[in-house]
Amino acid sequence: MSRLQVVSGKGGTGKTTVAAALALALATEGKRALLVEVEGRQGIAQLFETEALPYEERKIAVAPGGGEVYALAIDAELALLDYLQMFYKLGSAGRALKKLGAIDFATTIAPGVRDVLLTGKACEAVRRKDKRGRFVYDYVVMDAPPTGRITRFLNVNDEVAGLAKVGPIHNQAQAVMRVLKSRETAVHLVTLLEEMPVQETVDGIAELRTARLPVGRVVVNMVRPQVLDATGLELVRDTPRAALARSLSGAGLGGARRGGHAERLVDPLLAQAEEYGERYTLEQEQRAVLGELGLPTHELPLLAEGMDLAGLYELATELRKQGIA
């Protein structure tokens, strides 16, 4: 099991949710997981219903079985100042750099520096050991940038090592790449059973593979329950409306005759079934596309009540059941 789990996915597919559920799932039996956020959106805090996370590792949840989940919102600017302090004992010069706009430049505009800092901090947490030589975190789960940017984000080596050919940033980039391209890392992609997210997943995996980054699993999120299967959908087409009206009426939903309550339900219910059928076919097609990737695939249910803390634990349990953790 890789110790750095990177979770990406197209916008709107719920990658933050999946990353959080994964961290909870991994933190079983006294294990400790660190959930890191790199895009400054405070999505983790919102999910765990806590106040905004500082740039500091903080315990945010206890998993069933006594494991712990810590969270960290990595701030590129603070990470850079940290880093300068650590290696150069910069002190007040760091502040002067900031005033000059150099920090801002380095963390927002300079190609790749920001990404090196963010992935660097995550890799540092992966490698960190306590006094007795044990890893501080059993797992680090990263809520990463979306699929369209993930390869570039992780592949800092090409970008930065090429630009900064010597010096600490170069060395840092090299060290980060050693972790990211090893078996220590797995990159998971979250998708929905819809055309665009699936297409983006397929493209994303091809890019990751080309860059020799370790592809992990595909997580299909928000899967709607199967209410009618192929046989049921066939019945939808073949069953006479009058028979349906009688059946609904029999269930206590009003009159089966023309204009009766049960009879008036038939059309809208059939229309919904037809929509469902159309979506069902599309979903089957998308499942087949994902199947061709030859990757372990997991499906997480759409939570009827929307996403909340209880739902998060439910998804974690589901992931564990499916053997992802």
Partner 1 sequence: MSPEDPARHREGARPLTAARVLDVDHLLEDPQTRIVVCCGSGGVGKTTTAAALGLRAAERGRKVVVLTIDPARRLAQSMGIDSLDNTPRRVKGVDDAAGGELHAMMLDMKRTFDEIVESHADPERAAAILGNPFYQSLSAGFAGTQEYMAMEKLGQLRAKDEWDLIVVDTPPSRSALDFLDAPKRLGSFLDGKLIRVLLAPAKVGGRAGMKFLNVGMSMMTGVLGKVLGGQFLKDVQTFVAAMDSMFGGFRTRADATYKLLQAPGTAFLVVAAPERDALREAAYFVQRLAAEDMPLAGLVLNRVHGSGADRLSAERAIAAAENLEDPRIVDQDHGKAGVRTSPGNSPDPDGSSGSADSGPGTPSPDTTGDAPAEGPTDAPERSVDALAAGLLRLHAERMHLLAREQRTRDRFTARHPEVAVTEVAALPGDVHDLAGLRDIGARLATGRPELPEPGA
Residues 152, 57, 318: CA angle, nearest 5 degrees: 70
* Residue 208 makes contact with partner 1 by CB under 8 A: no
* Residue 276 makes contact with partner 1 by CB under 8 A: yes
Nearer to partner 1, 112 or 204 (CB): 112
Among 36, 79, 113, 316, binds partner 1 (CB under 8 A): 113
* Residue 287 makes contact with partner 1 by CB under 8 A: no
Tell me the two tokens of residue 187: 């990159």
* Residue 197 makes contact with partner 1 by CB under 8 A: yes
Output b/e per residue, 255-272; b: 16+ Cβ within 10 A.
ebeeebebbbbbeeeeee
* Residue 223 makes contact with partner 1 by CB under 8 A: no
The minimum distance between CB 30 and partner 1, in angstroms, equals 32
* Residue 49 makes contact with partner 1 by CB under 8 A: no
Among 78, 102, 175, 211, binds partner 1 (CB under 8 A): 102
* Residue 145 makes contact with partner 1 by CB under 8 A: yes
Among 11, 54, 65, 296, binds partner 1 (CB under 8 A): 11
Where in 52-81 is the site for partner 1 (CB under 8 A)? none
- Interaction mask 229-268, partner 1, x per CB under 8 A: ---x--xx--x---xx-xxxxxxxxxxxxxxxxxx-x-xx
Distance of CA 123 to the CA centre of its chain: 18
Tell me the two tokens of residue 86: 């650590």
Task: Give the number of other CB atoms < 10 A from CB of residue 209.
Answer: 12
Asked if 36 and 143 count as a contact pair (C-beta separation under 8 A), the reply is yes
Nearer to partner 1, 29 or 203 (CB): 203
Nearer to partner 1, 84 or 180 (CB): 84
The minimum distance between CB 286 and partner 1, in angstroms, equals 10
* Residue 301 makes contact with partner 1 by CB under 8 A: no
Asked if 236 and 206 count as a contact pair (C-beta separation under 8 A), the reply is no
Among 101, 129, 182, 209, binds partner 1 (CB under 8 A): 101
* Residue 323 makes contact with partner 1 by CB under 8 A: no
Asked if 19 and 12 count as a contact pair (C-beta separation under 8 A), the reply is no
Residue 237, amino acid: R
DSSP type of residue 161: I
* Residue 152 makes contact with partner 1 by CB under 8 A: yes
* Residue 51 makes contact with partner 1 by CB under 8 A: no
DSSP string for residues in 44-72:
HHHHTT-SPP-SS-EEEEE-TTS-EEEEE
Tell me the two tokens of residue 168: 């600490």
Size of the site for partner 1 (CB under 8 A): 92
Where does 195-308 have alpha helices with state H? 195-210, 230-238, 241-250, 261-291
Return the SS3 of 114.
helix
Nearer to partner 1, 55 or 135 (CB): 55
